[in-house]
Amino acid sequence: MIYMVMYLRLYHSRFLSKITVVSLVLSIMTSGNTNVNSQDADWPVHEFRGVWIATVANIDWPSSPHLSSSQQKQELIAMFDKLEELNFNAVVFQIRTSGDALYSSHLEPWSAYLTGKQGMPPSPLYDPLAFAVTEAHNRNMQLHAWFNPFRARAGSTQRSDLAANHISHRFSSACYAYGKDLWMDPGDPDVQNFTFNVFMDVLERYDVDGIHIDDYFYPYPVGDQDFPDANTYRRYGGKMSLSDWRRDNINKLVKNISKGIKARKPFVMFGISPFGIWKPGHPSHVVGFNAFNEIYADSRKWLENGWVDYFTPQLYWQIDPPAQSYTALLDWWTEQNQHKRHIYAGNFAAAIVTKSWPVTEIERQVIESRDRRSKQSLGNVFFSAKYFVQNTDRISDMFKSHIYNYPSITPEMTWLNKTWTLPTPQNVLATGTAVTWQADDSPAIRSWALYRVYADGWLLVKVLSKNVTSVDHLIEGKYALRTVDRLGGQGKAVTFILGGSGASVVG
């Protein structure tokens, strides 16, 4: 609660005949979210609102591998503009689809999905990841860099047209044709080390907010074809069974990436979006694919051990069918979360096309996720961006009207090690319908949050870019302005009153 004493001082000056100055003496809100949030679970202020932007096969961006650099930028700007309009606050941007790079890399070749030929840079030359980071941050959206760790090529087993520095050539004996794809051997130490270095290279050189891995570890099974890693197993498997050894290879990668992030940039988030079922029978009535035994993903272990900062199980099923129920699986995952990491359910927005789901199914899933906030269910990530850009089945209209019809700040991860202290807004001046404040070049500030009192609590009105120093056309009322950092943390508040005569000077 904020306690205020307001007093008016009327004075004359030889320059101004009369000015009413409203001075506010208040106790400042602390940085905890509970001091600002006062709405119920249906209207949470702090909520992760993410969307995957898939670049593999040009699913979301760029729409074609033959666009100019200018056209690529225009497409991404239009996509980000739409997501900002819909009050999304995070994008999960795929930058490594299969041993390639949608960014400038000395380790891996430019992606064919970007330029039509692997190893060919965009022309005119630019760095898509650096561009995307800047554009996302300018719109108060986090950008999480999304990697596929071991897939070497999707949709073809040919190597002859891959760039000379591609991972399939660099470690040719550890690259296998499997089904219609090429895969690297996760058990090969050189592959493991190189993959880790690719992750760390991006972490160190780019201002990304998160590092993200999806559900591809060992490949999904293709008929009766076995993954051909027998020689690697004989060399490195020791006394472990083949299945345990394969799981251990994935566990090592996850643990090492987690430790690597914390050692280099402890404020960067690490998230994984695994297949939504750990094992059939967990929970008891759930049946389906066994990711633990088939792709060797012991995803529960990663959550239980606190190796991730957020967990996004791909819950790509409807709520009602009991065999794979969205809510039953979400409940189960929240129960495995002893370290109280954030759970952001993965939602299959594409199913409104691929499975003819009613768009209201997605709405219901968001509501169910919000109903579990007390269990650390703090947001959602949707696959994928193009359905919102294209407003497929009017999904964007629905989000804009009553799902994401107000802005939101991402939930703060209090266990991450911050290296900064957020400043308090300075020289806040409210006049008429406008408020201005002093610019601040502190690197701690990502955004400004503007709140207004509604009924008996604060409601987030706007999230503003760091470079903004004024807002106009506000209605009368009591407001608060706070700084926001990259993790959703907030600084101390300055409050002010709009309405009445004169100016409100608040610090």
Q: Are β-strands 477-484 and 447-454 bridged in parallel, bridged antiparallel, or unpaired?
A: antiparallel
* Residue type at position 320: D
Burial 395-409 (b: 16+ CB within 10 A, else e): bbebbbeebbebbbb
Q: If DSSP codes are grouped into helix, strand and coil, which group holds residue 21?
A: strand
> CA–CA separation, 392 vs 359, rounded Å?
9
Only one residue has tokens 């409210």, namely 430
pTM: 0.91
Contact (CB, 8 A) for 291 and 277: yes
pLDDT at residue number 15:
25
Q: Which domains does the chain have, with CATH numbers?
A: 48-403 (3.20.20.80), 426-506 (2.60.40.10)
E-strand spans in 117-194? 142-147, 151-153, 175-178, 181-184
Low-confidence residues of the chain: pLDDT under 50: 1-44
> CA–CA separation, 304 vs 334, rounded Å?
10
pLDDT at residue number 456:
72
Task: Give 498's contacts (C-beta < 8 A, 6+ positions apart).
Answer: 430, 432, 433, 435, 474, 475, 476, 477, 478, 479, 504
pLDDT at residue number 504:
59
> CA–CA separation, 283 vs 228, rounded Å?
32
Structure tokens that stand for 218 in this block: 């060992």
φ, ψ of residue 458 to 5 degrees: the values are -90, 140
Q: What is the DSSP letter of 200?
A: H
| Residue closest to 81 by CA, chosen among 346, 396, 326 | 396
Neighbour-count burial of 60, counting CB atoms closer than 10 A to its CB (0-12 exposed, 13-18 middle, 19+ buried): buried
Contact (CB, 8 A) for 326 and 312: no
pLDDT at residue number 7:
22
